[in-house]
Chain A
Amino acid sequence: MHIVVVGLSHHTAPVEVRERLAFAPTAMEKPLHQMLALPAIAEALIVSTCNRVELYAASKEPDTAVATLRRFLADYHGVPLEEIEQNLYDYQGEEAIRHLFRVSSSLDSMIIGEPQILGQIKTAYGYAVEFRTAGLILNRFLHKAFSVAKRVRTETGIASSAVSVSFAAVELARKIFDRLDDKGVMIIGAGEMCELAARHFVSNGVTRVLVTNRTFERAEKLAAEFQGRAVPFEQFTDHLASVDIVLTSTGAPTFILGHRQMEEILRRRKNRPMFLIDIAVPRDVDPKVNNLDNVYLYDVDDLQGVVQANLKERQKEAHRAEAIVNEEIGQFHVWLANLEVKPTIVALRRRFEEITAQEVAKTFGNHKDLTDAQRKGIEAMANAIVNKLLHRPIALLKRTQNETGGEDYVDTVRELFDLPAPAVDETPLEPLDDDTDNR
C-alpha cells in the first residue's frame, strides 16, 4: 500500500486559485465519500486551509491514484484541469510521507513554525475519522505526523520566537526583564497596535496598566478594559517613573518625551531599567533617549527588525527540524513495509501448510497399511521439506522489507502463490492529544 498526495499551496498557487479549489469545512462528508469511491483509492483525507488544499490517499496503484485525484480536484470544483495543472503537485510513497510530516511540523508554512497548521490537520483528520474514510494506514500516518510535529516543536526552536510586531515587543521585554508580573505598563495614546501590544503584555502577566490620552474619556475606556487606571495627559510624565514598560502612539507632531525628561525620570526610579516602545509615526520619543543607560527605546522599524531576525532564526531551526522529519520517515516506512511483509509471510506459510496437509492426507488415504510411526515420519518429512523450501524466500522478504524495491518481492510472492489480500488487524493507537496552543 502506498500513500499519495495531490494538492496545491501558497508555494504553487495564488490565492485566486486556492479559493476556487478550497473545500468548505462545514460540508466535508460529500467530497470525502466521493473521493473514497474513486478507483484505486482505499483511504481518503482532505486538508483544506486558506494556504493549502491537499488530498491524501492510501492506494495500491499510486500512479493511477494520482491521476484520478488530479481529475477529481478539478471536476469537483468545476474547474478545467488544464487551468490548474501548473499549480498542482503530487507526491507518492516516501515523498508523500515527507510532505505531510513537513506540513504538520509547519516547515512548509508561509510563516515557518506557525502553530495553526497542526490544529487544521487535526481537524481535517477528525472529518476523515467521522466519515470513516480513514483506515488503518491513514490513521497511523496521521498519528505519526502529529507526533513528528510535537517532536519538532519541543526539540527545536522553530516556534519559540515571535513573528508579529506586537508579540516581538513582549519577547524583547523578556530579554530585559526576568518577570513581567511585577512590572507596570503605560499606554500613551490609543493606537490599535499599542492596544494589541498591551494585550500581549497583560496576557503575559503584566497586571499594572496606566493609560493616558489627550481625550480623557478614551483613556478611561481603554483603562477599564485592562482593569487599569487612566491618568490625565498633562501629567503623564509624573507617573512614568512608576512604570517599566511604555507603549506610545500619539498623533503628536513633535517628541512628547525628551532626553532631559527621561534622565530625570530615571533618577527618580534609581535607574531601574525601562523599555520604551514608540509605535507612533512621526515618533513620540526622542531617539537620543536610547543613549541613556538602562533605557531601551524601540520604534516600529526596530520591532520589524526583531521579527526579521526571528524569522531568520526559525529558518536555521528548520534545518534541525528537517533532520527529525527524515528520521521519522524511515520509521514510518518500516511500519508501512511491515504491514505488507508480515501478513504475506503468514499467508505464504498457510498456503504451503494447506498443500502439505492435503497431500499428506491423500497419501495416507492411498496407503492404509502404514504404521503410526511411518505416518509420523512422512508428516515430519513433508513439514521439513516445506520449511526448507520456505526458509530462503521468507528470509529474503524480511531482509528487503526496509529497502526500496522490497515491496516488489512482496508483490511477486503474492502473485506466484496466489495469496489472498491481507486482512490486517487494527493495532490500537495512542489517543489523539489536543494540545495545540494558538499563540
Chain B
Amino acid sequence: MTFDVLLFKATLLVYSVATLLYLVGVITRREQLGHCAKWTLVGGFATHCIALGARWAATGFPPAASLYEALSFFSWALVGTYLLFDLRYRIAALGAFVCPLALVMMIGGSAASKQKITVNPILDSWWFPVHVTLAFLGYAVFAVAAMAGVMYLLQERRVKAKKFSGLFFRLPPLDVLDSINYKCLSFGFPLMTMGIISGAIWANSAWGGYWRWEPKETGALVTWFLYAALLHGRLTVGWRGRRAAIFAIIGFVCLLFTFLGVNLLSGGQHTFRSFGE
C-alpha cells in the first residue's frame, strides 16, 4: 500500500467515526457529541488534504483522473463545503445528513481501482486542476443543497401533517433549511458555470473544439439549466420552500447521473478510462 492510499484509508476511518458521532448525537440529541463529531471531521479533512496532496505528488497529476481519485476528491470538496457552512449555520443535523454522503463516496472510492493513471499529455495543462476543482466544488455545494432539501421535505411534512415526534425535534427550522438552499444555489451556480466554461477552454486547447456534445457535457448542461431555472424562479416569482427543495434534490440526482452514470453507461472523453488513452 502506498503512502497516499494509507492516508486515504485513515481518512475513511476518521469519516466513519465522525458520521457515527453525528448520527448518535442527533438521535440522542446531545450537543456535545455533535461538537466532537465536528472536530473529528475537521481532523479527517486535514488528513484528507494530505492524502490528496500525496496522491498528486505520487502521480504528478491532480488527483481526479481515476474514479477512485474523483470520488475521494468529491468527498473532500463535500466535507470542506460542509465545514464552511458550519461556520455560519452550526447545524449538527445537517452534518448527520452530509457526512454519511461523504462517507458513501469514500467507500465507493475504496472499492474502485487505485492504480495510478498516466494522463494523456494532451490533457495535462493547468486547465485540468482549475476545471475539476470548480466542477467538484459546485457538485459539493449542490450536494449540501440536496441534503438540506431532504431535511426540508422531512420537516415540512411533519409541520404540515402535525406529526410531532422523533425527527421533528431534531431538525432545524424550515426557513434555515430554505436559506441554506438559497445560499448553496448562489454559490454553486457560479461555480458550476465557471466549471463548464473552464472545461470548454481546456477542451479547446486540447482538441481544438469547445463543445462536442458528448454525454457528460450534455448532462452537465441539462443540470445547469435546471439550476438556472431554480435560481430564476427564486429570484423572480419566489419559488422557495418545498418546490426549491425538490428542485435541489432533482438537480443533485442529475449531477450524480452526470458524474457517475455517464461513466458507467457510455463512453466519451470524460470517462476515467479515456484519460489514459
Report which A residues bind B (CB closer than 8 A). 157, 161, 172, 174-178, 269-273, 290, 293-294, 296, 298, 302, 305-306, 309-310, 312-313
Other-chain residue from A177, A271, A306 in contact with B238 (beta carbon distance below 8 A): A271
Which residues of B sit under 8 angstroms from A296, Cβ to Cβ?
A: 159-160
Q: Is B164 an interface residue (CB 8 A)?
A: yes
* Residue pair A309, B179 in contact (C-beta under 8 Å): no
Q: Which of B47-55, B74-82, B165-173, B191-199 contacts A (4 or more CB under 8 A)?
A: B165-173
Other-chain residue from B155, B238, B242, B243 in contact with A175 (beta carbon distance below 8 A): B155
* Residue pair B173, A175 in contact (C-beta under 8 Å): yes
A298 to B162, CA, bound (A): 8
A271, A302, A305, A313: residue with the most chain B Cβ atoms closer than 10 Å: A271
Which residues of A sit under 8 angstroms from B175, Cβ to Cβ?
A: 176-178, 273
* Residue pair A175, B174 in contact (C-beta under 8 Å): yes
* Residue pair A273, B164 in contact (C-beta under 8 Å): no
Q: A176-B174, A178-B173 are in contact. Are A302 and B242 (CB under 8 A)?
A: no
Q: How far does the Cβ of B16 sit from chain A's closest Cβ, in whole Å? A: 26
* Residue pair A309, B164 in contact (C-beta under 8 Å): yes
Q: How far does the Cβ of A289 sit from chain B's closest Cβ, in whole Å? A: 11
Can you list 17 contacts pairing A with B, beta carbon distance less than 8 Å?
A157-B169, A175-B159, A176-B175, A177-B175, A178-B176, A178-B179, A269-B238, A270-B240, A271-B237, A272-B238, A272-B240, A273-B241, A293-B242, A294-B240, A296-B159, A296-B160, A309-B168
A293 to B152, CA, bound (A): 13
* Residue pair A313, B169 in contact (C-beta under 8 Å): yes
Near A by CB (< 8 A), chain B positions 224-239 give 237-239
Q: How far does the Cβ of B233 sit from chain A's closest Cβ, in whole Å? A: 10
Q: How far does the Cβ of B169 sit from chain A's closest Cβ, in whole Å? A: 6
Other-chain residue from B165, B174, B237, B239 in contact with A273 (beta carbon distance below 8 A): B174
Q: Is B29 an interface residue (CB 8 A)?
A: yes
B 218-259 binary contact with A (CB < 8 Å = 1; else 0): 000000000000000000011111110000000000000000
* Residue pair B173, A305 in contact (C-beta under 8 Å): no
Q: How far does the Cβ of A195 sit from chain B's closest Cβ, in whole Å? A: 24
Which residues of B sit under 8 angstroms from A161, Cβ to Cβ?
A: 169
A49 to B240, CA, bound (A): 51
9 other contacts beyond A161-B169, A271-B237, A293-B241, with CB at 8 A cut-off? A175-B155, A175-B159, A175-B173, A271-B238, A272-B240, A273-B241, A293-B242, A305-B164, A306-B164
Other-chain residue from B159, B169, B238 in contact with A176 (beta carbon distance below 8 A): B159
Q: A272-B240, A273-B241, A293-B243 are in contact. Are A174 and B173 (CB under 8 A)?
A: yes
A157 to B241, CA, bound (A): 28
A161, A293, A306: residue with the most chain B Cβ atoms closer than 10 Å: A293
Which residues of B sit under 8 angstroms from A293, Cβ to Cβ?
A: 241-243
Q: How far does the Cβ of B182 sit from chain A's closest Cβ, in whole Å? A: 12
Q: How far does the Cβ of A320 sit from chain B's closest Cβ, in whole Å? A: 9
Q: A175-B155, A176-B175 are in contact. Are A310 and B164 (CB under 8 A)?
A: yes
